[in-house]
Amino acid sequence: MGDSEAKKAIDKIYNVISQTTEEYVFIGDMRLGTFRYPSQMVEEFGLPGEIVEDAMEMWCAKIHEKDRNLFRQSMEDLLSGKTSYRDIQYRAQNVSGEWVWLRCRGSMMEDENGERNIYTGTITNMSHYDRTDQVTGLRNRFEAEHRVEQMLGTEETPSLGVLVLGFDNFRRVNDFYNRAFGDKVIRRAARQIQNLLPQSALLYRFDGDEFLIIFKDCSTGQVYSLYHDLQELYTMPQEIDGNRYEVTLSGGYAQYPRDGKGFQELVKRAVYCLEFAKAEGKNRIVLFSNKVMEIKERKLELTEELREHIEDGFAGFEVYYQPLRSAVEEKIVGAEALMRFSCERFGRVAPVEFIPLLEEDGMIGRAGEWVFETSVNMAREMAQLVPGFTMHINVSWLQFERYDFLSYLVQKKREGFWEDCNIVLELTESSISSNYSQIKDVLHALHELGFKVAMDDFGTGYSSLGLLKSVPVNIVKIDRSFIVNMQESVFDVTFVEFIVKLCHAMGISVCQEGIESREQEEELKDKELELYQGFYFGKPMDREKFISLCKGDSPEDEV
């Protein structure tokens, strides 16, 4: 197919899509500033045509002055690479002179040169939709925005607060039961929150498992009081139709005029606080502060650094290797591969900080493939030095769920990429339990491809023993928390002994993580484990130092 035929085919596909949806589909070249809009949008907003040059300025002139800065800032974030996805709401004037609420969602894509210049997505005219949430009967976020703008437009509103509430780990409810049951939980929560609201507060359905509360002329103490009442309510197991479930609530709060001048800014900062509350352990409320803003800004800046370094051939990324020691032969028989990142701006960044950012921003797919290939190459080299060497590689469930890591592995299998290598893929107990209904088929597929599978951090979840019975794994890695106080804890000793016997009865090998002293190793001598891992046998180290260790040299400490 020639270029002209390809262009005709693309035009045809675009026209079919744009004519079969109520949403306006757009595509644009951010570098040139040229966008294409559907004919329906041209008619409604009086655009100069379907192809518009200098589209940002043209469209910006049609946006309400109170929303214009938000629109410009979001476009600048896309242009600078600070973000690759946008989801905002603003008002624009149609040909009849009416201000209509629009929701714009879009993503940056690579052009033919591999540069992220193409921006495509949809614009939704919210006036086409009912502003009542169908699940709860509450008014939705668009009605909340309309109400707040009304309140801020009068002199009778000296202060106003916005609280965003979100369930913690709500996905477990949907996965364990189903979405219909999840809707029942949301519906009940709406009634429970409504019953506890003070008279000066209004409740709205925000998004997913989140609610939005508007407080008029209230004190911070009243906000805390409401949240603590809800927190106490959800510390107890709930039951619907004889089915029990347990959830907790986190909250983020921002106040006008201290934290923002309009609805969009207030909500954005309340959501920042909600994200912070969940990251700090969940089941808590966080009020907006400079600290929250600094952390959010660091996340945005670090995310951009990660993206730039990945585009630069994974510069700044390394794979470190932590020894796995045979408990029987008392020698190194393998390693766990661990991703590390450092850059000039932030120095060495802890995995607990940068890996969630890779997952949140969609970079974990490429990063996971890079770690896999780097680690397999190392395993191939180590097999020449240590017969039977086994490489353990951590994988995120998101790699399978969103980035089709399984198809990638199938292709690598066809290429014979890990032929003659012993590879174990590690998934955490929490990721397995949270995705129980989908993960069993994936694990079976991994076994068919020739992988062994390890369950990492075992013992930290709420359904550990049930998982052993139903999920096909080859190795269980007992979490380090059970070794820390083993010499003083009868429970920890009994737990490890019980798990080892249970796993062996099911043909599963056991590794104890987190061993940091000779005393801890001695405590495990008679427990019949297969593998040990921990700082006592070696911290994670770079490729050269790991090879030196296996040759009998003593490496310097790494992390």
* 0.85 exceeded by pTM: no
* pLDDT score recorded for residue 559: 56
Strands (E), 144-292: 160-168, 201-207, 210-216, 238-240, 243-245, 248-256, 285-287
**From CA 300, how far away is CA 394, in angstroms rounded?**
25
Nearest CA to 376 among 433, 324, 449, 319? 319
Return the pLDDT at 9: 47
CA distance 91 to 62: 8
> What's the pLDDT score for residue 521?
92
Contact 145, 89 (CB under 8 A): yes
Amino acid found at 447: H
CA distances in angstroms from 137 to 41, 55, 101, 182, listed in the order given: 31, 39, 21, 15
Q: Where is pLDDT greater, at 15 or 525?
A: 525
Q: Please name the CATH architecture into which domain 298-550 falls.
A: Alpha-Beta Barrel (3.20)
Of the pLDDT bands very low, low, confident and very high (cuts 50, 70, 90), residue 504 is very high
Region of poorest pLDDT, from 15-24, 173-182, 242-251, 308-317:
15-24
In a 3-state reduction of DSSP, which class is residue 467? helix
**Residue 428, phi then psi, degrees to nearest 5:** -70, 155
According to the model, what pLDDT value does residue 114 have? 74
Say which range, 125-129, 173-177, 364-368, 392-396, has the weakest mean pLDDT: 125-129
Q: CB burial class (10 A; 0-12, 13-18, 19+) of residue 15?
A: middle
Kindly report, residue by residue over 159-210, the tens digit of the pLDDT: 899 999 999 988 778 777 788 888 899 999 999 999 999 888 999 999 889 9
Q: What is the model's pLDDT at position 30?
A: 86
Q: Do 510 and 476 form a contact (C-beta atoms < 8 A)?
A: yes
CA distances from 43 to 99, 100, 197, 365 (A): 15, 14, 44, 40
Q: What pLDDT shows up at residue 462? A: 52
Percent of the chain with pLDDT over 70: 92
Return the pLDDT at 286: 95
Which stretches of 28-87 are DSSP H helices? 39-45, 55-60, 65-80
Tell me what percent of the residues of the chain surpass a pLDDT of 90. 47
Least confident of 121-130, 360-369, 470-479: 121-130
DSSP, collapsed to helix, strand or coil, labels residue 401 as helix
Q: Residue 143: which pLDDT band, with cuts at 50, 70 and 90? A: confident
Longest CA–CA span in the chain (Å) reads 82
Are the C-beta atoms of residues 394 and 336 closer than 8 Å to each other? yes
Long-range (24+ apart) CB contacts under 8 A made by 3-8 are none
CB 343 within 8 A of CB 316: yes
Looking at residue 40, what is its pLDDT? 84
Contacts for 471-475: CB closer than 8 Å, 24+ residues apart: 471/432, 471/436, 471/439, 471/440, 471/443, 472/440, 472/443, 472/444, 472/447, 473/443, 473/508, 474/424, 474/508, 474/509, 475/424, 475/508, 475/509, 475/510, 475/511, 475/530, 475/531
pLDDT of residue 467: 75
Per-residue model confidence as pLDDT tens digits over 440-469: 889 899 999 999 999 998 887 655 677 777
159/260 Cα distance (integer angstroms): 11
Residue 301 has pLDDT above 60, yes or no: yes
217: pLDDT strictly greater than 80? no
Give the pair of three-digit tokens for residue 385: 């030095």
Closest C-alpha among 366, 440, 359 to residue 398: 359
CB 475 within 8 A of CB 457: no
The CA-atom distances, in angstroms, between 378 and each of 146, 228, 285, 342, 413 are 58, 52, 45, 21, 17
Closest CA to 29 of 120, 118, 115: 118
Q: Would you say 47 and 58 are in contact if contact means Cβ atoms under 8 Å apart?
A: yes
Between vectors from CA 272 to CA 287 and to CA 354, what angle results, nearest 5°? 125
Residues 274 and 280: their CA atoms lie apart, in Å, by 10
pLDDT at 153: 67
CATH class of domain segment(s) 141-288: alpha beta
Residue 326's Cβ-count burial label (10 Å; 0-12, 13-18, 19+) is middle
CATH of domain 3-128: 3.30.450.20
Count of residues in the chain? 559
Q: What's the pLDDT band for 70 if we cut at 50, 70, 90?
A: confident
Rounded to the nearest 5°, which phi and psi values hold at 24?
-90, 120
The pLDDT value recorded for residue 461 is 61
pLDDT higher than threshold 90 for residue 475: yes
Low-confidence winner among 35-39, 123-127, 281-285, 360-364 (lowest mean pLDDT): 123-127
Least trusted range by pLDDT, from 177-186, 274-283, 550-559: 550-559
Quick: pLDDT tens for 390-410.
Answer: 999 999 888 988 888 999 999
- Is the predicted pLDDT of residue 2 greater than 50, yes or no? no
Across the range 276-294, mean pLDDT stands at 92
Domain boundaries, the chain: 3-128, 141-288, 298-550
* The predicted structure's pLDDT at residue 108: 86
